[in-house]
């Protein structure tokens, strides 16, 4: 099903969106049908039902998933999210995105993703720990430094990773730090990991500005999402001379055409619980703020921020996908007609998985790097990956989204051909 004939409901289904991008790239590469079937199909889809005793004495059962999309280039790599909105379709799509993301930045991982259907806002720390440990125990035979290496994702963090690492270590009877990434520093985490995704977005946006001949000081930036990715990208972009004119959160947006003080805004939200009513800025409708005139739009919140229903209203020169899947395949065609330079998610937000790779390497060798070393290695990989995607786009006459997928599919397909099919 091509992007142009998808209904809006189909267009915003993450699995169908991933398939649409896959199909277009595979067609451009002339991949044979059999190889397409292998690349399209997840290696494993694991569903577990997790009994957990709640604090009030009730026994509740939570559903969890782990999807390993491809292990052709190395162990599975991908986060675990806790959310009431987790679906198997979403986890499938995110696992495939991880395959392509790792291939785009050319690190030796395959793609995986996990999730548990729960609402962390109504659960105590003890309940969350029991869910995490039982979920880990249920999928433990599929985890390991050489099998599948989880990481934090939506509503999970370094503490949750510490619980997973400890649970795994108790089962294998020795401390195994390399089974997860995104851990606390004192348990084998890497310096630079919390900033990595936002730093990666900043690096590739600077590359795009240079390509378009725009100075950072002339770049007005609108950021949707002010969490780890959007907040850190905002801080780093401001430090690099960008003018951050608008920040959009789930309740309100704040706007100042002269630029927002990102550090002060972060402090304001910490004190008040919201970015709204920030001194020196005006509140804006969060839906309308997405379409402010700017040089850079950074959607760093959720999927489907830009669809065929609103892409014609986007007014930016560069769209950097900080979130996973913020632009639907059908919206690509509209943005291409508008000559918007899109930095695809599997490149733009790959800084996080790249530094996760660094953490895995450091854990396995027992030797840890300084933050400057981590940042330098990250910049080297992000710059090379940006150049590879842009070169691929220009060589094949396609948009950056299609180029990134073509590059990723080519690398994974090549690994499968080299390995052969075991039978």
Instruction: Return d(Cα 229, Cα 200) in angstroms, integer.
Output: 10
Task: Please give the full DSSP string across 77-110, using - where no structure is assigned.
Answer: EEEEEEETT--HHHHHHHHHHHHHHHHHTT-S-E
Active site residue 113: yes
- Given a contact cutoff of 8 angstroms between Cβ atoms, the answer to whether 222 and 254 are in contact is no
Task: Give Cβ neighbours of residue 34 (< 8 Å, ≥ 6 apart).
Answer: none
Give 81's strand partners: 115
Q: Residue 419 has which token pair?
A: 């390995």
Cβ burial, residue 188 (10 Å; 0-12/13-18/19+)? buried
Instruction: Return d(Cα 214, Cα 217) in angstroms, integer.
Output: 8
Considering Cα of 124, then 130, then 135, then 136, what sign does the dihedral take?
positive
> What letter would DSSP give residue 55?
T
Give 85's strand partners: none
Closest CA to 240 of 269, 211, 214, 276: 214
Task: Please give the full DSSP string across 256-305, using - where no structure is assigned.
Answer: -TT---HHHHHHHHHHHSSSTT-TTSEEE-TTGGGGS--SEEEE-S-S-S
Closest CA to 135 of 116, 122, 112, 154: 116
37, 44, 77, 113: the catalytic one is: 113
- Given a contact cutoff of 8 angstroms between Cβ atoms, the answer to whether 115 and 82 are in contact is yes
Closest CA to 295 of 233, 246, 328: 246
Phi (first) and psi of residue 306, to 5 degrees: -120, 115
Residues annotated as part of the active site:
113
């Amino acid at each position: 099903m091509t992007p142009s004939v998808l209904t809006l409901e189909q267009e915003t289904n993450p699995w169908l969106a991933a398939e649409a991008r896959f199909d277009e790239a595979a067609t451009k590469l002339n991949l044979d049908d059999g190889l397409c079937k292998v690349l399209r199909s997840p290696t494993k889809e694991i569903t577990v039902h997790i009994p957990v005793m709640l604090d009030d004495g009730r026994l509740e059962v939570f559903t969890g998933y782990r999807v390993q999309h491809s292990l052709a280039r190395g162990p599975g790599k991908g986060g675990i999210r806790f959310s009431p909105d987790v679906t198997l379709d979403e986890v499938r799509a995110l696992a495939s995105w991880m395959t392509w993301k790792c291939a785009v930045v050319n690190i030796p991982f395959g793609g995986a993703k996990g999730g548990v259907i729960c609402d962390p806002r109504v659960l105590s720390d003890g309940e969350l720990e029991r869910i995490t440990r039982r979920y880990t125990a249920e999928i433990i035979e599929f985890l390991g430094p050489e099998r599948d290496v989880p990481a934090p994702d939506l509503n999970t963090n370094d503490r949750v990773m510490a619980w997973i690492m400890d649970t795994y270590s108790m089962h294998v009877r020795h401390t195994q730090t390399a089974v997860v990434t995104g851990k606390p520093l004192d348990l084998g985490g890497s310096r630079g990991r919390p900033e990595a995704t936002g730093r990666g977005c900043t690096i590739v946006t600077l590359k795009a500005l240079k390509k378009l001949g725009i100075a950072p000081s002339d770049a007005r930036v609108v950021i949707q999402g002010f969490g780890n990715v959007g907040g850190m990208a905002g801080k780093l972009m401001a430090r690099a001379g960008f003018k951050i004119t608008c920040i959009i959160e789930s309740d309100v947006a704040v706007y100042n055409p002269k630029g927002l003080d990102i550090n002060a805004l972060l402090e304001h939200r910490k004190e008040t619980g919201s970015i709204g009513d920030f001194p020196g800025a005006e509140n804006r409708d969060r839906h309308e703020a997405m379409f402010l005139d700017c040089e850079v739009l950074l959607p760093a919140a959720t999927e489907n921020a830009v669809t065929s229903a609103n892409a014609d209203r986007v007014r930016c020169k560069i769209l950097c996908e900080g979130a996973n899947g913020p632009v639907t395949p059908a919206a690509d065609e509209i943005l291409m007609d508008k000559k918007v330079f899109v930095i695809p998610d599997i490149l733009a937000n790959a800084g996080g998985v790249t530094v996760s790779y660094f953490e895995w390497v450091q854990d396995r060798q027992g030797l840890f790097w300084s933050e400057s070393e981590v940042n330098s290695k990250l910049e080297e990989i992000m710059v090379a990956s940006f150049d590879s995607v842009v070169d691929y786009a220009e060589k094949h006459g396609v948009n950056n989204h299609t180029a990134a997928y073509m590059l990723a599919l080519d690398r994974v397909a090549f690994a499968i051909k080299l390995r052969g099919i075991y039978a």
